[in-house]
Amino acid sequence: MKTNKLNTVIVLGLIATIGILIAQLLWTKQAFTLEEKKFSQKVHIALLEVVKHLYEGTNHELPVENPIKKIANDYYVVNVDNDFQAEILEFYLKSEFKKANLNTDFEYAMYNCQSDEMVYGNYVSATNKTPKNVSIYFPKHKNLIYYFSIRFPSETSYLFNSLRFWFILSIALIVVLLVYVYSIYTIIQQKKYSELQRDFINNMTHEFKTPLSSILIASNYLKQQENIKTDEKLEKYTQIIINQSNKLNNHIGKILNIAKWDNIPMTLEKQKLELIPIINEVIENIKLKYETADIKIKTILPSVFIYADEFHFSNLVYNIIENAIKYSDDKPEITVQISMTKTHLLLQFIDNGTGISEKNIPFVFDKFYRIPSKKSHEINGFGLGLYYVKKVCTLHEWKVFIKNNTEKGITISVQMQPV
């Protein structure tokens, strides 16, 4: 994905997540306000019922004005305008709050007109907890004679408990936002490191190319000199320099190609190809380099055709067979088996190599991955061969699998479409 597109996706995702979080917090705040109003209404109705009960059996009529005044969110004053007993008041408060489903703690105090002070009544716990020892100060109110005050010390926690689903959802959204931000930060860091790695590889390989070319030119010129040709040792050493320089040059070319494919997608020139002749040609080229390798083709199909890029397909076959030869302790024996399933053509490379640990199989197609073993330390390479194989298969819409053989070695299977 291009940098501009990635940045756009990141910004839009971040804006959307923050927008959802803000909307959720606003909804939660609104729900808290509604729950607070609902609580106040319940308290108001319950206290009116308490006032009615206190007027029962008396000659006084209910006051015309609303006897209940809300002084604060958790504090109410009720004007009874009639004498009442503390025990009767507490009984009615408990019963009416229970009917209104107000399951929260409360405490009350009554005004004593004789002593002109507020007399603390009781702390009533909804959960039958031990009442608090310290009472809260209840102020006096002018122009009232028979009245009581009531306070709900746990109103806020009661409301929060009623809205716990909203708060849990809000916390979950915050966690999602934090995970999203962390993920974006990780992606940006990995992208940055990937770009640094690619720039380093490009610069490194280009810097190596120039001196290598000079070494190869000088070595080839040196080999043509009469003094070198007549000296067997000098000619041998000169040839070693040329061979090792060519080998290093090939490795650098592979790294450059991989770095280029990360920026520019590999293009394919597909055409109809006959499978067996191409594999035979690759085998002949490999045997020039590895004379002891025993490579054979096993098939019952007279001729097989596929649509593929000849250059990349030949390299795919070459990389798989060369890998099998390199990772073999004994004389390399590779069987290239061609068969047909109901829907696909199956190309299998069966070797007698050292095999691969099951825990390492999922990573063998990763770029620059090399299996940690004694054999891999002895073999020169950059872990690009099977990465290239996987890339070519992906571009051709083929599938590639690796599994260990029952006795020894591995089998690499390429599943493709026949013509």
CA angle, corner 317, sides to 402 and 326, nearest 5? Answer: 70
Q: What order of strands is seen across the sheet that includes strand 106-112?
A: 68-72, 75-79, 147-151, 106-112, 117-124
- Are 92 and 50 spatial neighbours (Cβ–Cβ below 8 Å)? yes
pTM of the model: 0.46
What pLDDT is stored for residue 357 in this prediction?
A: 82
Residue bearing the bigger pLDDT, 114 or 280: 280
| 140: helix, strand or coil | coil
What pLDDT is stored for residue 377 in this prediction?
A: 47
What pLDDT is stored for residue 413 in this prediction?
A: 92
What is the pLDDT of the chain when averaged over all its residues? 80
Mean pLDDT over 203-229 rounds to 77
- What superfamily does domain 270-416 belong to in CATH? Histidine kinase-like ATPase, C-terminal domain (3.30.565.10)
Q: Where are the beta strands (DSSP E) in 240-386?
A: 270-274, 294-299, 305-309, 333-340, 345-350
Least confident of 267-281, 286-300, 337-351: 286-300
Mean pLDDT over 159-164 rounds to 79
Mean pLDDT over 95-101 rounds to 88
Residue bearing the bigger pLDDT, 209 or 317: 317
Burial (CB < 10 A; 0-12, 13-18, 19+), residue 3, is exposed
b/e sequence 112-122, b meaning 16+ C-beta within 10 Å: eeeeeebebbb
Nearest Cα residue to 116 out of 135, 137, 144? 144
pLDDT in tens, 223-275: 888 888 888 888 888 888 887 777 677 667 666 666 666 555 667 788 999 98
Does CATH place domain 185-263 in 1.10.287? yes
CA angle, corner 387, sides to 384 and 392, nearest 5? Answer: 120
pLDDT in tens, 379-412: 555 567 788 888 889 889 999 999 998 888 899 9
Q: Is pLDDT of 82 > 50?
A: yes
- Percentages helix, strand, coil for the chain, rounded to the nearest 5? 55, 20, 30
What pLDDT is stored for residue 348 in this prediction?
A: 92
What pLDDT is stored for residue 206 in this prediction?
A: 64
The CA distance from 264 to 228, in Å, is 45
What angle do helix axes 155-162 and 3-55 make, rounded to 10 degrees? 130
Q: Where in the chain is the domain with CATH 3.30.565.10?
A: 270-416
Q: Where in the chain is the domain with CATH 1.10.287?
A: 185-263
| 399: helix, strand or coil | strand
Confidence of residue 62 (pLDDT cuts 50, 70, 90): confident
Q: Where are the beta strands (DSSP E) in 56-182?
A: 68-72, 75-79, 106-112, 117-124, 147-151
